Amino acid sequence: MTLFRRNNISVAGIAGAELLETEPAGYRPRDLLASAQSMLCLGMAVPRGIFKSNGRAQKLYWRAANIYYRNIDAILMRAAGIIEEKGETAVPVFG
């Protein structure tokens, strides 16, 4: 979790892959990796001011989302590397 704190990830959690087994095909962890046992989810808070900006909220939100997605993608790649250094297998799934 230190990796996430250092990179301003405000929400992170780990859950069993079986929790998403009822999702449609293609959206279940085991659809991507048959041996999946856990999933890691990350999120970053969007500044509230973006949603309060007059007439530009949607444009500002999508700009922030683009920046956040790139950051989260890079962090997921690092996390996958750390997991695989421990002898496990990881599949980073991007936004």
- pLDDT tens-place string over residues 24-42: 999 999 999 999 999 999 9
Q: What is the pTM (predicted TM-score) of this model?
A: 0.81
Residue 47 lies in a domain: yes
Give every CB contact of residue 50 below 8 A, 6+ residues apart in sequence: 57, 60, 61, 64
Q: How does pLDDT run across 46-95, given as a tens digit for each residue?
A: 899 998 888 888 999 999 999 999 999 999 999 999 999 999 999 998 76
Give every CB contact of residue 51 below 8 A, 6+ residues apart in sequence: 57, 61
Pairwise CA distance, residues 50 & 29, whole Å = 32
Residue 12 lies in a domain: yes
Q: Which of 4, 40, 1 is nearest to 20 (CA)?
A: 40
Which range of residues forms the domain containing residue 50? 2-85
Domain count along the chain:
1
Residue 91 lies in a domain: no
Residue 43 lies in a domain: yes
Residue 23 lies in a domain: yes
